[in-house]
Amino acid sequence: MVMGMKAVRLHGIADLRYEDIEAPGAPPPGHVRVRIKAAGVCGSDLHNFRTGQWISRTPSTPGHEFAAEVVAAGEGVPWPPGTLVVADSRVGCGTCPACRAGEANLCAKLGFVGEVCDGGFAEEALLPAAQLLPVPAGTPPEVAALAEPLAVALHGLKRLAAPKGAPLLVMGCRAIGGLAAFAAGLRHEGPLYVADRNAERAALVAQASHATAIALDDPSLPAFRHALEATGSGAALTGLLPRLGAGARVAMVGLFHGPVSLDANMLVEREISLVGCHAFADELPEAIALAAANASALRALITPDVPLGELPGVYERLLRGEAPSLKTLVRP
């Protein structure tokens, strides 16, 4: 008998459906069948819904930021049922120089869970064990599901490489910026500033990160040497440049929706470095440990319990900018 399950699937641009589909069967060798416990909605999910940029197969079940419980493990996988796991969202080719160097985020053929294979916006999923990592027992699933975006935030901070004690600015307080500020608040020993057009969101992140929320046009601010750009807004980026000191370094984490025009001489004459940061490299285990160790503080930043069937409506609300917290998670 074929068992059914609920899933939310993308059928094309702006066509997301809550529907009954076939549940995964017994896992083949090296694979795991999991029950999804919590799954976060990512800006990239919204971007793909709106533009179709990364649709490589339809219909597909999106969702790469999830925590799930092992239901059954295929031959060769040692995890007992009930083990909590999260996904490594990156699906590299495995053979190119970047993949072999452990930098699958730079693979020319890089795809993501939820695009090239079905992801977490469903009751269950079937994935290769190599695409999953176990989480410490007792970690709340909705916090474990933050590990993937937290890994992206940690990668940005690593690429920024701000020395301890140096003033650090985080631009943008949605998920990646907010989590970067949170992680910097835990480990960076210098003054930490956060900025966001939404003052409420900036205040929430500032409080959780022991940071100061600022308005970038405040003339009393110091010139920054280290900034993490997580807005993906051309206006925010060009507004940031005059606030930077000579020799500044900006880690670029936000995804932009088109070309940005800027005065390149501002970079040349003041030796300003813009450093691209894509997904994450080897930061996921560190992110899992960090999430598990700071569960209650992270839980205060999220909207954790949206029913799966409400997801199409949630997409619409998030696209209108109505985000009540850093991250909205569904609970199938």
**Closer of 240 and 302 to Zn ion (Cβ):** 302
Under rule CB under 5 A, residue 55 binds Zn ion: no
99 scored as a contact of Zn ion (CB under 5 A):
yes
DSSP string, 91-159: E--SSSHHHHTT-GGG-TT-EEBTTTB--SSBSEEEEEGGGEEE--TT--HHHHTTHHHHHHHHHHHHH
For 236, 245, 251, 255, the CA distances from 231, given in Å and listed in that order, are: 7, 20, 11, 8
Q: Shortest gap between Cβ of 149 and Zn ion (angstroms)?
A: 5
Among 14, 46, 72, 93, binds Zn ion (CB under 5 A): 93
Report the nearest approach of Zn ion to the CB of residue 153 (Å).
11
Residue closer to Zn ion by CB (options 73, 110) is 110
Angle at 166 between CA 161 and CA 168, to 5 degrees: 75
Stretch that binds Zn ion, among 97-105, 229-237, 269-277, 278-286 (CB under 5 A): 97-105
Determine, following the binding rule CB under 5 A, whether residue 116 of this chain makes contact with Zn ion. no
Secondary structure (3-state) at 319:
helix
In the complex, the smallest distance separating the C-beta of residue 279 from Zn ion, rounded to whole angstroms, is 8
If the CB atoms of residues 71 and 150 are measured against Zn ion, the closer one turns out to be 150
Q: What is the helix (H) or strand (E) element at residue 85, kind and residue range?
A: strand 84-87
Query: How far is residue 322 from each of residues 126, 135, 205, 234, 326, measured CA to CA in Å?
Result: 32, 31, 17, 21, 11
Say whether residue 96 binds Zn ion (CB under 5 A).
Answer: yes
Nearest distance in Å: CB 270, Zn ion: 33
Part of the chain binding Zn ion (CB under 5 A), chosen from 38-46, 164-172, 275-283, 314-322 = 38-46
Q: Is 213 in the site for Zn ion (CB under 5 A)?
A: no
Cα 24 from Cα 35, distance rounded (Å): 10
Query: Should residue 42 be labelled a site residue for Zn ion when binding is judged by CB under 5 A?
Result: yes
**Among residues 7, 8, 39, 107, which is the contact residue for Zn ion, using CB under 5 A?**
107
Q: Residue 42 or 71: which CB sits closer to Zn ion?
A: 42
33 close to 27: Cβ distance less than 8 angstroms: yes
The letter for the amino acid at 317 is R
| Segment interacting with Zn ion, rule: CB under 5 A, options 100-108, 128-136, 295-303, 315-323 | 100-108
Residues in contact with Zn ion, total (CB under 5 A)? 6
- Applying CB under 5 A, the residues found at the interface with Zn ion are 42, 92-93, 96, 99, 107
